[in-house]
Chains A and B, each alone.
Chain A
Amino acid sequence: MDLVNIFIKGVFIDNMIFAYFLGMCSYLAVSKTVPTANGLGLAVIFVLGITVPVNYILENQILKAGALQWLGDNFVSVDLNVLSLIMFIAVVSAMVQLVEMIIEKFSPALYSSLGIFLPLIAVNCAILGGALFMQERQYSTIIEATSFALGSGVGWYLAIVAIAAIREKIRYSNVPAPLRGLGITYIITGLMGIAFMCFMGIKI
C-alpha cells in the first residue's frame, strides 16, 4: 500500500509543477499544442523513472556518510555528500544521452517523436529536482524511490497536457493584448495551482 501512497502523493499532493514549480521552463515553452506536450511529458516520465533509481543506488552505495563501508572499515568515516550535485547532474546527462542512443537504435519511430525533446530534458529542473528530493526524503528502498519518480513524472505529464489543452482553446478567447501568450499562461497555471491545493493535507 505504501508504494501506491507514494505514487499518488507524487502525482497530486507534491505535484512537481503546482507545488514546487520544477520544470517550469519547458512547461511554458513546449505547451503550445497537445501532441508536443504529450511527447515531452512521456519523455519526462521515462527519464525520471530511469535516473532516480540510478541516483538512488549512487547515493546509498557511494555518496552518503558511511555508505562506502563495503570498501572496508577504513572508509566508514568518508562522507562524499559534497559531490552529490556534480554526480547527480553527470548521471542525468549521461543517462539522457544513453537513452537517446538506445531509442534511436531500437525504435526509430519513438525516436522521431521524442527525439527533439530528449536533449532538452537533461536541463529540465524536474529531473534533477527528482534526484534531490529523493536524497532529501530518504526513501527506504529503491522500489519506493522508483514509485516516487514515476508519480512525479505522471504529475508533470498531467500538468503539461492540461495546460496545452487550455492554451489551444484560449486562442479563441478575447484576452487583453498585453497578457496574451506568456502572461495569461502564468495566471492560468496559478489558478490551476490553487485548484490543486485542495489535495493538500489529504492523508492516504
Chain B
Amino acid sequence: MKSFFNKQHQKLIADPMGDQNPITIQVLGICSALAITTQLENALVMTLAVIFVMTSASSIISILRNNIPNRIRIIVQLLVVASLVALVDQILKAFLPDASEQLSVFIGLIITNCIIMGRLEAFAMGNKLWDSFLDALGNAFGYGWILVAVAFVRELFGSGKLMGYEVPGFNYLYELGYMNNNLMILPPMALIVVGLIIWMQRARNNDLIEEN
C-alpha cells in the first residue's frame, strides 16, 4: 500500500470497465444512460459531467467521512452531489447551450444517478481519498464507455450520422436502397441495445451469468 499507484489501485480502475461494470453488472445509473444516448455528442457531454461530479463527490465525501453522523449521511451526500450538479448545470448552460437544451432534466438527474450514490455509500464512506478518487474515476469511465457504445450504435443506424456529421460511405448505401432505422432513435431501442451488450459480455465471461 506504500506505492502511489500499485496493483490494487490498478484493479480499482480496471474492474468497473469490465467485470464490475456499473451499468451491465451492478445495475447502477441506468436512467440517464438510456435516455440521452440518441446522439454521440450528448453521450460525451453526459459522460464528462458524470466523471466530474463523481470524482469530486467521492473525494469530498472521502475527506469528510469521519465527520458525517451516520443518521443523516444520505442527506449530506445528496447535498454535496446536488451542489456539484448545480455547478455543472450552470457551466453547460453558459458554454454549451444546445447540449444543455437537449439533455434538459437529465443533467439535474445526475443527482439521483444511483451510480454516484451507490459508490459513495459503498466505497467513499469507508476508504481513503486517493482510493476513492480512483474508484470513482474507474466507475465513471465504466459508465461512460457503455454510454458511448450505445450512442454510437443508435446514432449510426438511427440517423446515419456520427457526432452530427454525415458518415462518408452512407451516400452510396442510400442509393442502393438502404434506409435509416428510425426505431433506433426511439427510447425502447436503448434498452434492447444495452440488453445485447450484456448478452455479449456474459457470453464471453461465463462467471457473470446469473441464476435465472
Contact = CB atoms under 8 A, between A and B. Distances in A.
B189 interface: yes
B86 A86 contact: yes
B211 to A, nearest CB: 7
A19 B187 contact: yes
A159 to B, nearest CB: 12
Interface stretch (B61-69, B72-80, B159-167): B72-80
Contacts of A88: 108
B24 interface: yes
B108 A21 contact: no
B104 interface: yes
B78 A123 contact: yes
B46 interface: no
B212 A175 contact: yes
A20 B199 contact: no
A93 B74 contact: yes
B35 interface: yes
B203 interface: yes
Interface in B25-40: 27-32, 34-35
A186 B191 contact: yes
A82 B152 CA distance: 33
Contacts of B104: 136
Contacts of A192: 188
Chain A interface mostly: helix
Given A21-B35, A85-B108, A89-B111, A182 B210 contact: yes
Interface in A16-58: 18-25, 28-29
A193 B186 CA distance: 9
A194 interface: yes
B187 A180 contact: no
A150 interface: no
Contacts of A136: 104-105
A72 interface: no
Given A136-B105, A182-B24, A187 B30 contact: no
A20 B188 contact: no
Which of A83, A86, A89, A191 has its CB near the most chain B CB atoms (within 10 A)? Answer: A89
13 contacts: A21-B191, A25-B114, A29-B27, A123-B78, A123-B112, A132-B109, A177-B202, A178-B200, A178-B203, A178-B208, A182-B198, A186-B192, A190-B192
Given A25-B30, A90-B75, A178-B200, 4 more contacts: A132-B108, A178-B206, A180-B212, A193-B191
